[in-house]
Chain A
Amino acid sequence: MQKLVIIDYGMGNLRSVEKKLLNFLPNIQISSDPGQIKEADKLVLPGVGHFGKAVNNIKNLGLWEIINEVVLLKKKPVLGICLGMQLMAKYSLEGNAKGFGWFDADVVRLKVEDNLKYKIPHMGWNNVVAVKPSILFEEIPSNSEFYFVHTFHVKSNTQQDILSLTDYESFFVSAFEKDNIFGVQFHPEKSHIMGEKLLSNFLKL
């Protein structure tokens, strides 16, 4: 039976991700233990908060190299959620720190012209518009609503990894995929039925 580890680096609400995943898979650990992460068949990299602080936390826990090893060498599927997705990019202006660099992308602040209509953080339900098909979005119609809470977003330097876009005055990347690596800017664990569907799709990989 597959073992999934939700990486605990001390930021954000991990329990809600765990609770949703437990609907589909009994063997789930929330862990910051290098040994457990090394043995995982799948990883979820969650997180809410400051990019620079997240990078420091992961490094201070001695997890940076191990996560890289599981994802890049062992090629285990990994799903980044919100800040977790942003950590997969090369660089973030939030704390001016380097991320894992699994995607050719940078993390920048959301920019809006009309700040009466478009408040920052982008907080609430918005449509996720498919750019290309993916197992992650199987049986999820393009334009489905998901729950977002973020101030920064991923700016991709290439088109090929982009799975979906979302419109907040202008379009930003709301999901991407490269080989075994998946990232979503929204919170599937808080997005009712479609969110559950997405998580169960990830577990099928």
Chain B
Amino acid sequence: MFRPRIIPVLLLQNKGLVKSVRFKDHRYLGDPINAVKIFNDLLADELVFLDISATKENRAISLDFVKKVGEEANMPFAVGGGITELNQIQRLIASGAEKVIINSHASKHPKFVAEAAENFGSSTIVVCMDVKKKFLGPLRTWIMGGHKSTNYSPTDFAKKIEDQGVGEIIVQSIDLDGMMNGYDIPLIKSISESVTIPVVALGGAGTLNHMADAHFNAYANGLAAGSMFVYHGSRKGILVNYPNRNEITKLFKDGINR
């Protein structure tokens, strides 16, 4: 039986691993390659790396870093941050990444993701959309690490991206980032119902039951999280963790984690 993927999302800033709350207050966690080693041992389904300062600094995620991850990782992984050119994608894939994630540039230049999907195959190209309410306004997608809003509603943007031939969409709620109280179920559901490509939920997960919720009630195909996999306990001690395979299988068979 098919089951959704559970995906740790690891944020990079100045080559270190960090975790944010609502895209702010970045806390340093440690060495990303060390985290990859631990996720190998824990048999994680898939990993995502996002360089959250790349776009602002007008560069793409470091090729050297991606190579290092490629040497270590036993599972598929996707990388994103500041990707604006096809030859960057070529090099990132050659360095071991399965997929690349495009955010800001996809909003500004949808044709670019169409070209990327055409060149590297749909399943290689992922778009991440960051979603937040405009002040006293409707939900919109945001770019530049949540600093700039666009005119796209989440469902319009998702459809637009699907039309470009992209293989997967990550839907991230900015307001729920780091809160660990559960995903934005109505948002995720609205996207799942608008497209036929896989949808990955991100932002807000704190427990496996949140993940089951997003899968069964919002049809998410991938369940991604940051805090949940790097923190332990109410005081948020740093501890890289991941559920075991039996727990995961049971969760998606029974619908609840007891």
Which residues in A have some Cβ–Cβ distance to B below 8 Å? 11-13, 15-16, 19, 48-50, 115-127, 145, 147, 149-151, 167-168, 187, 190, 192-193
Contacts and interface: CB of A to CB of B under 8 A. Distances in A.
Q: How large is the interface on B (under 10, 10 to 19, 20 to 34, 35 or more residues)?
A: 35 or more
Contacts of B70: 15-16, 19
Interface stretch (B2-10, B19-27, B56-64, B171-179): B2-10
Pick the 9 closest A-B CB pairs, nearest first: A49-B121, A119-B198, A124-B5, A149-B123, A190-B76, A115-B196, A126-B2, A121-B123, A116-B219
A6 to B, nearest CB: 13
Given A13-B97, A13-B98, A149-B123, A120 B197 contact: yes
Contacts of A115: 196
B104 interface: no
Nearest to B124: A48
Contacts of A168: 2
Contacts of B94: 13, 15
A126 B252 CA distance: 12
Interface of B: 1-5, 43, 45-46, 70-71, 74-76, 93-98, 120-124, 167-168, 192-193, 195-199, 219, 221-222, 245
B123 A48 contact: yes
B2 A49 contact: no
A149 B46 CA distance: 12
Given A15-B94, A123-B221, A48 B193 contact: no
A118 B122 contact: no
Given A13-B96, A49-B121, A149-B123, A121 B167 contact: yes
Contact of B3 (A120, A125, A149, A150): A125
The A interface, classified by DSSP as helix, strand, loop or mixed, is mixed
Contact of B192 (A12, A15, A116, A121): A116
B197 A119 contact: yes
B75 A192 contact: yes
A126 B1 CA distance: 6
Contact of A190 (B98, B195, B197, B219): B98
Most chain A C-beta atoms within 10 Å of own C-beta, residue among B4, B74, B219, B245: B74
A123 B168 contact: yes
B171 to A, nearest CB: 13
A189 B222 CA distance: 20
B1 to A, nearest CB: 6
A13 B3 contact: no
Contacts of A123: 5, 123, 167-168, 198, 221-222
Nearest to A118: B2
A16 B96 contact: yes
A117 B252 CA distance: 13
Contact of B124 (A49, A124, A145): A49
Contacts of B46: 147
Most chain A C-beta atoms within 10 Å of own C-beta, residue among B46, B76, B95: B76
A121 to B, nearest CB: 5
Contact of B93 (A13, A118, A122, A125): A13
A66 to B, nearest CB: 24
A15 B123 contact: no
B122 A151 contact: yes
